[in-house]
Amino acid sequence: MKYASALYTLCTLVLLSFVPQLSRAQHLDSMINVYGERFPQEKVHLHFDKALYNPGETIWFKAYLFSGLLPSAISHNFYTELIDPATGKVLQRKITPIFEGSTAGSFDLPLTLTNTSLTFRAYTTWMLNFDTAFVYTKNIRIVGKNALTDKKPAENKSSIKFFPEGGDMITELSNPVAFKAVDSYGFPVNVVKGAVKNSKGAVVTNFTSLHDGMGKFDLEPQPNTTYYAEWQDDKGKTYKTDLPAARPAGALLQMIGSDKLLSFVIKRSNNVTPENQRFYLVGNMYQQLVYKATINLSNNFMTSGTIPLAELPSGILEMTLFNSNWQPMAERIVFINKEDYLFDAAINVGVKNVNKRGKNVITVEVPDTLRSNLSISVTDAVMADKGEDNIISRLLLSGDLKGYVHEPSYYFNVVDDSTRYYLDLVMLTNGWRRFKWQDLAAGKFPEIKYPRDNYLSLKGEVLGVPSSQIAAGSSINAFMEAKDSSRQFFALPLDSRGQFKEEGLIFFDTVRVYYQFNKDKRLTERATVSFNNGTLRGQSTLPLDSAWRIPIPMDTSALNRSKYIAAEAARIRPEIEKQVKTLEAVTVRAKQKSQKDLMDEKYARGLFSGGDAISFDMVNDPFAQSATNIFQYLQGRVAGLQINMGGANGPTLSWRQSATSLFLDEMPVDASMIQNLPVSDIAYVKAFRPPFFGASGGGSGGAIAIYTRKGNDAKASNASIPGGMEKNLLAGYAALKEFYAPDHSKEAALYDAPDVRTTLYWSPYLLTDKSNRRVTITFYNNDVSKRIKVVMEGMNEEGRLTRVEKLLE
């Protein structure tokens, strides 16, 4: 059975005692599934190139978005922000497009940056409709040449919290109570020990932490009695903390798990009303109902049962105990770890050379035939990401829990009885994504303030004239011109309010929009048109969050190495600037690029750049101009591509029995929109062999990308915008930046300045499939690193994950 399909298999249960189902029960069941279908949650993991940065460096990142067990198809725009944690001021903000559940970008840190840390915040607008506690944030350490060694705060008090299993202690019912001890910043206190005493000062039980300040003990509260704990932290300081008050009556839910079986125990008080003698036990995973049992405790006070795990996937299972009126009585989360979330990937070292500017060659290999989407970073080992919260732990664990989880990847590195037990302590001591059961029972859904987006828009409204003066059926003719002179034309119909909207656009940096009214051109002079790109306008300052001020632990070697790199970079910067000026006057003889390579650099961007494609230079092909249209031109020129010119709605294209996607200037179009496009207006065509990740659904039928002429390739007749058109500026996605990795075998004679880069290689998109399972990477060491760390993370089309680390030394 496929990993993702396991979610939708409902466990078949042996009911402990049959009770007729109430309509309210059926309603709540259906509401859980409706909620999951209409309001699926997104979560995100970010792979950064390294763990800490110097002023003047670039933060490179790749984002992986999931919904349930699969890459998310909900959102198309991804928002990232760099925040000053001391003031809440948003220092930089970028928007990038999401393809196949992933996106990538970068932030350039100014040389004048004085912060010792920055907060990285990432989200989609869909996430903002729900609990914003699950919006991604990460504190990033910034180290300048004069950075000071970390000092522990003078006052760093320990504290402890107690968490009865299921939510409450009930008098005269024995129940486990978990605890978690942390310092002032939320980091675990390594060892705590103490005693629980009753209100008379008598010792009831003793306790000792087992892992990261966590542990548990059993307690049976007595009527009219309160309890407190006297305990010591790892510094020997003594504290006194009250335990939560016990309720006089109610029900308890206990969960006991192993790698193959999950058991539950349900207890109730003797002095309960009839509605608290019959119960429903409901389990949900990934917002889908996966378990339900009806339980009759009319004649006894306790029962137990088992939950089969064979058909459930790995992840957090939420169990809720309801009384017969469907009021929640107890709740518990458990983690199911079947290690079924991984796919195989390997990093093989072909050439290793950690000497000064040594050449290294590695090969990424994915034996699976499924499409995979990977990112890879190569850095100085001291500066590298330590992987405390990696793609596996983030998407399966910490991304679903409220509060700080210390080094969550620990629970997945080695899965044995000890780590399973320690992970269950995490489940007992952290909050999670909960349904609001009262709202769900009442049929109340979340308010959707931000609907699902569809990339960028060309939207706006006509201002300055009454809508009555705008003739019915009016529209605006608009040209969008990018900085590279490429253009797109739009006919934008106006509604009764003088508003218009064109969705699903992808453009980068800043574009010029020229417009004109098509029916009454005099309106161009009398009216003003307001344009926007449809994205969320971010706040310039955000409310302060205490989590932003948590210090970032860093060992002395990392701090010293980063200070040295910052100082060296500052020292050689004038030398580099001088060298650059010198190189501007030098003529370098290099291998001449082909005309098609030059066309690809000029026209193709992002996922359309390079790739497994057949290219056609239409500008310099004398046969191109004789073709009636682009489809006639392509017939017989691309092996495997089938073109049927007689389709009812225009030509139809297929490749390997799947429909072929079409793009005009990297915008998705259908055949009818381009069959009449003059071939003389086309500069460049790329036929991408299947699969093509830039297409919706993974492009199993490949793709044809058509580029209209621009710049020097543009025809003279198209060189100017029609007269009488007004101009607006419109922001697009963040401008693309390519990672620069020097080739020291070619540049050594020209570039003698010291190389102190700590990120040696970064690629956010390594794509593999059944016909391309290996990717070879070449990079050069810097002048100072002796140990190099390679980190690769990624996902495949079924939602399985991988993280691979390789150390070169």
List, as one string, the DSSP characters of 626-649. G-SSHHHHHTTTSTTEEEETT-BT
CA dist 372 and 772 (Å) reads 10
CB atoms closer than 10 angstroms to residue 41: 22
Give the mean pLDDT of 477-499.
86
- Residues 434 and 113: beta-carbon distance below 8 Å: no
Q: Work out the mean pLDDT of the chain and round it to a whole number.
A: 86
Residue 273 is encoded by which pair of tokens? 């009303």
Higher pLDDT, 384 or 209: 209
pLDDT of residue 410: 95
Give the mean pLDDT of 385-389.
87
Residue 564 has pLDDT above 80, yes or no: no
Q: What is the DSSP string of 145-193?
A: TTPPPP---S----EEEEEETTS--BTT--EEEEEEEE-TTSPBPS--E
Residue 562 has pLDDT above 70, yes or no: yes
The backbone torsions φ and ψ at residue 320, rounded to the nearest 5 degrees and listed phi first, read -130, 135
Higher pLDDT, 393 or 723: 393
CA dist 313 and 5 (Å) reads 9
Residue 167 has pLDDT above 70, yes or no: yes
Give the mean pLDDT of 294-305.
93
Q: What's the pLDDT tens digit per position in 8-18? A: 343 333 333 33
pTM for this prediction: 0.81
pLDDT of residue 154: 60
From 375, 342, 367, select the one nearest 791 (Cα to Cα): 375
3-class DSSP state of 632: helix
pLDDT of residue 31: 81
User: For residue 744, which amino acid is it?
Assistant: H
Q: What's the pLDDT tens digit per position in 539-549? A: 888 998 877 77
User: For residue 473, which amino acid is it?
Assistant: G
Residue 509 has pLDDT above 70, yes or no: yes
pLDDT of residue 25: 55
Give the mean pLDDT of 44-56.
94
Lowest mean pLDDT segment, chosen from 274-278, 301-305, 391-395, 596-600 = 596-600
pLDDT of residue 584: 46
Give the mean pLDDT of 395-410.
92
Give the mean pLDDT of 363-367.
95
Residue 146 has pLDDT above 50, yes or no: yes
Lowest mean pLDDT segment, chosen from 360-374, 500-514, 737-751 = 737-751
The backbone torsions φ and ψ at residue 548, rounded to the nearest 5 degrees and listed phi first, read -70, -25
The backbone torsions φ and ψ at residue 412, rounded to the nearest 5 degrees and listed phi first, read -120, -10
pLDDT of residue 360: 96
pLDDT of residue 101: 95
pLDDT of residue 622: 73
pLDDT of residue 608: 87
Q: What's the pLDDT tens digit per position in 694-732? A: 887 778 889 999 998 876 676 543 444 554 566 788 889
Give bridge partners of residue 375 from the DSSP assignment.
793
Residue 442 has pLDDT above 80, yes or no: no
pLDDT of residue 583: 46
- Residues 561 and 380: beta-carbon distance below 8 Å: yes
Q: How confident is the model at residue 606 (pLDDT cuts 50, 70, 90)?
A: confident
From 385, 306, 291, 400, select the one nearest 44 (Cα to Cα): 400
pLDDT of residue 575: 65
Q: How confident is the model at residue 222 (pLDDT cuts 50, 70, 90)?
A: very high
Helices (H), 373-519: 391-396, 410-413, 417-429, 437-441
pLDDT of residue 218: 97
- Residues 149 and 187: beta-carbon distance below 8 Å: no
Q: How confident is the model at residue 750 (pLDDT cuts 50, 70, 90)?
A: very low
Residue 69 is encoded by which pair of tokens? 């067990």
pLDDT of residue 194: 96
Q: How confident is the model at residue 433 (pLDDT cuts 50, 70, 90)?
A: low
Lowest mean pLDDT segment, chosen from 167-171, 266-270, 664-668 = 664-668
How far does Cα 492 stand from its chain's mean position? 34
pLDDT of residue 724: 53
Q: How far apart are the first and last CA of the chain?
A: 41
Q: What is the DSSP string of 205-223?
A: EEEE--BTTEEEEEE-PPT
The backbone torsions φ and ψ at residue 250, rounded to the nearest 5 degrees and listed phi first, read 155, -155
pLDDT of residue 378: 97
Q: How confident is the model at residue 502 (pLDDT cuts 50, 70, 90)?
A: very high
Q: How confident is the model at residue 657 (pLDDT cuts 50, 70, 90)?
A: confident
User: For residue 253, which amino acid is it?
Assistant: L
Residue 129 is encoded by which pair of tokens? 């409709």
pLDDT of residue 578: 60
Residue 676 has pLDDT above 80, yes or no: no
Give the mean pLDDT of 260-276.
91
Q: How confident is the model at residue 405 (pLDDT cuts 50, 70, 90)?
A: very high
